[in-house]
Structure 1
């Protein structure tokens, strides 16, 4: 498909540019080489006793070697590695990390640097937030998904079995450091996974930003850093208004109610291929855009455009009829649910959102039928 071929070609090299820092709730998001200067200045000013770099096997191999020469510190640094993948995002992994931190002498003046993708930032933030009732941590995301989504907003947590992000806290890092040079070693499917969240930010908040991706042939990816910066800015603007997700922050869950259920189902089903987060969310956005159309919140033309763009880039997942009921059953575990009612964040036209929207199961089944058509 043209869209997916184009994405593969475009995301090969990114050029780091000097980007303005983005102020967030009690911290800031810094970009490029300047971020390392600010990181070193922060470490010197806080007089930390020790630094622990939390990384999975992939980021420890490909990303930590880039980070270490840029750290101008004279205090001990320990690298703590754990297995890559969503299956590591558990309380059991946390127990192992808490134990190892204790054995290595971590104290309340230690600093944790979470270097990796969304699993690392989610898990590492939770480990730091709960160790000795909370120690400082900094996110250094190394995947596109983690840069534009997981590292921003203060959500930290782990999965409960196959249920996504059921255990966690909201606690902000000291800073987030965005270095898009890490993306040079990222597989193309991981780049597409992050692109899903960027597309979501346009759909829920900025119609003009969404429009930049309508013709991938015309996108100037030499300025890719600017697209990343704007995606982060959009998420941060929403989070700043509603840090604890009682109102507008629910907009960020567009595509995630069904997307998380799909992701969990594929994770627990032995005959299914485990999905990347963005792959599941892309399907969830198509399905929830259909719900928006059926509720007359988006026009048929807008829905057709959304479906075409997302399926052109991501293709379609293969759903059997027997998959639908187990996926629908998983919706009851979604974190947005209140008083037993399943809550959706649906589009109110492209660039706007309506939260706390309901849908009956029959309409959800119709969404899957249309997705497959």
Structure 2
């Protein structure tokens, strides 16, 4: 469990750590201002995390549990409809509280449900995966997918509190751990080269608790960006590095019933390699550095095999990217490790060449 880390002051809420965070959580609840309280889990967090979390609450019997199916394919309007109806049928009103206990899907979907139910009720995030700790639960982006297109429906709204407890990582499978690790690598590549180097030179899979200080660092990097630009009009676009192609790759595999599904971080890892090669072509990232980034990430993540038709389909999916403006795509690219630039338009031909370089890397 993370100890002795100062709370991080986000946009009107705190990100708190370990027992101090649970003290703050129980203090909020004990004020008695909520008419009813609910905990949203999926089948994974309900099985692996709920009992531990309930033992941290002073009055766990005051909560109703809402469980949904686990997986990106359930980050959908139909799942929202199920949760909205559960809240309505159990007399939730504008003074109700929803606690989101789970990974990125639960943080995204639960926050979206809370922010739209009766035009907004309070919610608190308890991230249980590395991805949700360093990314999904922080920054206020909430939403769901539309026909497997990533995050097409959503709002920006902040939780009342985020509780970071590394205990949950003990039950996290290695592939899920690495999924969050990809986002941390991104933080280094866009803002801090030394941080990127430090991350790739440690083997956190042997002892996941060793990553605790890095979690605080990654949250700090993301929070510093978001506080300057919560609505993504400028600097927050830096956080999209690896995600333009990464989201397209993730959406493509969600649509392929015969293909194995990719975790978000696995798709983003490939996206960062591809967009590093695009950076070489477009923004002058030295080829030596692009190859170094690719080899470093390839040591951690299995390379994805793309068919020629698959590549064409992935590039075509870019036209649905929510960052597009007036029909033009919008990439965040690297000038060098630790320094990124926003608002870059990339041709299909350059994207195709990046896939060729990825295959050869």
Q: If the TM-score is normalised by the length of the shorter chain, which range does it land in?
A: over 0.9
77, 89, 96: which one pairs with 2:75? Answer: 89
CA RMSD for the aligned pairs? Answer: 1.5
State yes or no: 1:316 paired with 2:303.
yes
Superposition deviation, residue 69 in structure 1: 1.2
Aligned pairs, how many? 359
Contact 1:128 1:137 in 2 (8 A): yes
Cα separation, partners in 2 of 1:65 and 1:347, compared to 1, 3 Å:
same
210, 218, 225: which one pairs with 2:196? Answer: 210
State yes or no: 1:248 paired with 2:255.
no
**CA–CA distance in structure 2, aligned partners of residues 221 and 66 of structure 1:** 18
3-state SS in 2 of match to 1:313 = coil
What are the superposed Cα offsets for residues 166-199 of structure 1, whole Å, 9 maximum, x if unpaired?
A: 0000000001000010010011100010000000
247, 251, 255: which one pairs with 1:264? Answer: 251
**CA–CA distance in structure 2, aligned partners of residues 228 and 104 of structure 1:** 36
Superposition deviation, residue 315 in structure 1: 2.0
Q: Which has the higher contact order (CA 8 A, sep 6+)?
A: 1
Contact 1:18 1:34 in 2 (8 A): no
**CA–CA distance in structure 2, aligned partners of residues 147 and 297 of structure 1:** 33
**CA–CA distance in structure 1, aligned partners of residues 208 and 168 of structure 2:** 16
Superposition deviation, residue 105 in structure 1: 1.3
State yes or no: 1:36 paired with 2:22.
yes
- Aligned position for 1:119: 105
What are the superposed Cα offsets for residues 249-274 of structure 1, whole Å, 9 maximum, x if unpaired?
A: 01100000000000000110122111
- Aligned position for 2:154: 168
31-40 vs 214-223, which moves further: 214-223
192-201 vs 74-83, which moves further: 74-83
Contact 1:51 1:75 in 2 (8 A): no
State yes or no: 1:326 paired with 2:313.
yes
- Aligned position for 2:186: 200
Instruction: Give unpaired runs (5+ residues) of structure 1.
Output: 1-14
- Aligned position for 1:3: none
- Aligned position for 1:65: 51
Instruction: Give unpaired runs (5+ residues) of structure 2.
Output: none
**CA–CA distance in structure 2, aligned partners of residues 165 and 76 of structure 1:** 32
320, 337, 340: which one pairs with 1:350? Answer: 337
Contact 2:54 2:60 in 1 (8 A): no
**CA–CA distance in structure 2, aligned partners of residues 241 and 46 of structure 1:** 34
Q: TM-score, normalised by structure 1?
A: 0.94
**CA–CA distance in structure 1, aligned partners of residues 129 and 313 of structure 2:** 30
- Aligned position for 2:262: 275
Q: Which runs of structure 2 are paired with 1:125-204 in the superposition (5 Å)?
A: 125-204=111-190
**CA–CA distance in structure 2, aligned partners of residues 178 and 324 of structure 1:** 38
Cα separation, partners in 2 of 1:217 and 1:54, compared to 1, 3 Å:
closer
**CA–CA distance in structure 1, aligned partners of residues 277 and 8 of structure 2:** 34
**CA–CA distance in structure 1, aligned partners of residues 184 and 95 of structure 2:** 36
**CA–CA distance in structure 1, aligned partners of residues 60 and 303 of structure 2:** 51
- Aligned position for 2:8: 22
**CA–CA distance in structure 2, aligned partners of residues 295 and 368 of structure 1:** 15
**CA–CA distance in structure 2, aligned partners of residues 22 and 143 of structure 1:** 19
What are the superposed Cα offsets for residues 230-287 of structure 1, whole Å, 9 maximum, x if unpaired?
A: 0011010100010000001011000000000000001101221110000000000000
- Aligned position for 1:77: 63
224, 234, 238: which one pairs with 2:221? Answer: 234
